[in-house]
Amino acid sequence: MAKPTGFLEYNRKLPEDRPVSERLRDWNEFHLPMPEEKLKEQSARCMDCGIPFCHTGLLVNGLAMGCPLNNLIPEWNELIYRDLWQDALDRLHKTNNFPEFTGRVCPAPCEGSCTCGMNGLPVTIKNIECTLIDKAFQEDWIVPRLPSLRTGKKVAVVGSGPAGLACADQLNQEGHSVTVYERADRIGGLLMYGIPNMKLDKGVVQRRIDLLAMEGIRFVTHTEVGRDIPAEVLHREYDAIVLCGGATQPRDLTVEGRSLEGVRFAMEFLKANTQNLLDNTPLPDALSARDKDVIVIGGGDTGTDCVGTSLRHGCRSVVQFELLPKPPEVRMPDNPWPQWPKVLKVDYGQEEARELYGEDPRHYCISTKKIVGDDRGRVKEVHTVEINWQKDDRGRFMPVEIPGTEKVWPAQRVLLAMGFLGPEDTVLQAFGVERDERSNAKALEGKYTTNIPGVFAAGDMRRGQSLVVWAIQEGRGVARECHRYLGGEGLLP
């Protein structure tokens, strides 16, 4: 272990963020770096806990317990404390292809299962991971790794999000020739267009993509498999096909006024913003929040990103509706350590709105009744009612409206961030892949095999909307099974 008494001597500390007044004026990442000596103190807090739950990677009652990638967290914490940064990097890369992504956008289930967090504050695992990989790039420790030989086998990976990139990376390193197909104009999927630049700088994403290309992976953009290129062509030209698309079918809001101008899905809004930022072109007025009253319907990370993006546009006001009750301040008895803690968190968007407007933008137990427009078909207000969650005669919690709590909210932009239902139809229909009861690709757990020989499925397309860290884990897993299918020797990590 790093330092036997470290967790007693040092308090948990995170790096400072750029001031809200400054960061709202640009699209740059808002976390500031932490000095290395301070970071080593944080790594010294890692305990000799006997059983490091931080890297167990299990699901307990549907909640993550530890890192799904089984990152060797205590090992690289100790190595950083001893100033052995390159050795720590080797440990990190044994399990994680893209720590620069997880170190920025993962909610860190590892920290939720840290033994230090049982009766105190957990180790700052996520920040240590991010600093380690950023230092590695700065010091030029990250260089292209070219396979020593090629197997002659060809694999098509459909989808260039974290699952597809992890799968492609693993298979390429084993010598298979990998081509990644992406329907958008840029590689990266969720990493490129689903996460705003202030959380994940697109230069960080492009840097990794460029590295993968130098290592021999072929990327094809502007190509939607099943529409621009038939499934039969991939079957003919490749020895195996791995489907790693996202769960991109958004959950819609079926209320009066849904079709009014100014009501948009969150991903339309976020993608357009990033695309125009990268292309250095003006954002269309229809997708701008400038001088608008913005209502974000939906509580998760996507809703937060809509809040942060609207604030940077210069919105007049922003509120966020959540159908569920406000989370508790501390763990409840039915949510014990080492499960992921279901407690109230204040993310960057809420922090910025609170400083700008004086209050948290979130409103809980709010149901949208209808959206009302003006005489030109443009949204002008949203009608809501508060709800209670009560059990019905079958023991299920159901929303019950509270009389007298109706309210009208001004709005010229309504952004729907209510999650995703599953993958779109095009790719799965093209290959004839069976679906499960949630409409995801039906593929065996741990095997990733579909009903079509030689066709595998992984990531959000298989498991449904999830975290980047789970996508990488699935990408590595499907690569392992695809490698075995291709007759590869040995077991991929």
Mean pLDDT of 202-225: 98
Q: What is the pLDDT of residue 1?
A: 66
pLDDT at residue 97 above 70? Answer: yes
Taking the C-alpha atoms of residue 306 and residue 461, their distance in angstroms, rounded to an integer, is 24
Clarify whether residues 230 and 86 are in a common domain. Answer: no
Q: What is the pLDDT of residue 49?
A: 87
Of the CA atoms within 13 Å of residue 60, those in its CB half-sphere come to 18
pLDDT at residue 226 above 90? Answer: yes
Mean pLDDT of 92-104: 97
Mean pLDDT of 278-291: 94
Clarify whether residues 226 and 193 are in a common domain. Answer: yes
Mean pLDDT of 208-234: 98
CATH of the domain at 17: 1.10.1060.10
- The pLDDT tens digits for 150-190 are 999 999 999 999 999 999 999 999 999 999 999 999 999 99
Q: Is 146 a member of any domain?
A: no
Clarify whether residues 414 and 428 are in a common domain. Answer: no
Q: Is 480 a member of any domain?
A: yes
Taking the C-alpha atoms of residue 459 and residue 448, their distance in angstroms, rounded to an integer, is 10
Q: Is 327 a member of any domain?
A: yes
Clarify whether residues 294 and 342 are in a common domain. Answer: yes
pLDDT at residue 489 above 70? Answer: yes
Clarify whether residues 55 and 129 are in a common domain. Answer: yes
Q: Which amino acid does the sequence have at 6?
A: G
Mean pLDDT of 402-418: 98
Banded pLDDT at 291 (limits 50, 70, 90): very high
Clarify whether residues 243 and 363 are in a common domain. Answer: no
Clarify whether residues 166 and 67 are in a common domain. Answer: no
Q: What is the pLDDT of residue 62?
A: 79
Residues facing 250 on adjacent strands: 420
- Residues with Cβ within 8 Å of residue 480, at least 6 apart in sequence: 170, 491, 492
Question: How many degrees, rounded to 5, is the angle at CA 475 between CA 470 and CA 478?
Answer: 120
Clarify whether residues 101 and 232 are in a common domain. Answer: no
Mean pLDDT of 114-140: 95
Q: Is 492 a member of any domain?
A: no
Clarify whether residues 242 and 98 are in a common domain. Answer: no
- The pLDDT tens digits for 22-75 are 999 999 999 999 999 999 999 999 987 888 999 888 888 878 889 999 999 999
Q: Is 147 a member of any domain?
A: no
Mean pLDDT of 113-128: 94
Percentage of residues of the chain with pLDDT beyond 90: 91
CB atoms within 10 A of CB 329: 7
Mean pLDDT for all residues in the chain: 95
Percentage of residues of the chain with pLDDT beyond 70: 99
Q: Is 493 a member of any domain?
A: no
Clarify whether residues 97 and 166 are in a common domain. Answer: no
- The pLDDT tens digits for 442-486 are 999 899 999 999 999 999 999 999 999 999 999 999 999 999 999
Of the candidates 214, 233, 215, which has an alpha carbon nearest to the alpha carbon of residue 223?
233
Q: What is the pLDDT of residue 224?
A: 97
Q: What is the pLDDT of residue 247?
A: 95
CB atoms within 10 A of CB 419: 16
Domain boundary among 402, 418, 434: 418
CATH of the domain at 481: 3.50.50.60
Q: The domain containing residue 297 runs over which residues? A: 252-418
- Residues with Cβ within 8 Å of residue 163, at least 6 apart in sequence: 244, 458, 459, 460, 461, 471, 472, 474, 475, 478
Domain boundary among 418, 434, 459: 418
Q: Is 164 a member of any domain?
A: yes
Contact 364, 388 (CB under 8 A): no
Mean pLDDT of 189-196: 96
Number of domains in the chain: 3
Banded pLDDT at 119 (limits 50, 70, 90): confident
Clarify whether residues 106 and 194 are in a common domain. Answer: no
Point out the least confidently predicted range of 206-210, 330-334, 458-462.
330-334
Clarify whether residues 212 and 293 are in a common domain. Answer: no
Banded pLDDT at 490 (limits 50, 70, 90): low
Domain boundary among 363, 384, 418: 418
490 or 247: whose pLDDT is higher?
Answer: 247
Q: Is 145 a member of any domain?
A: no
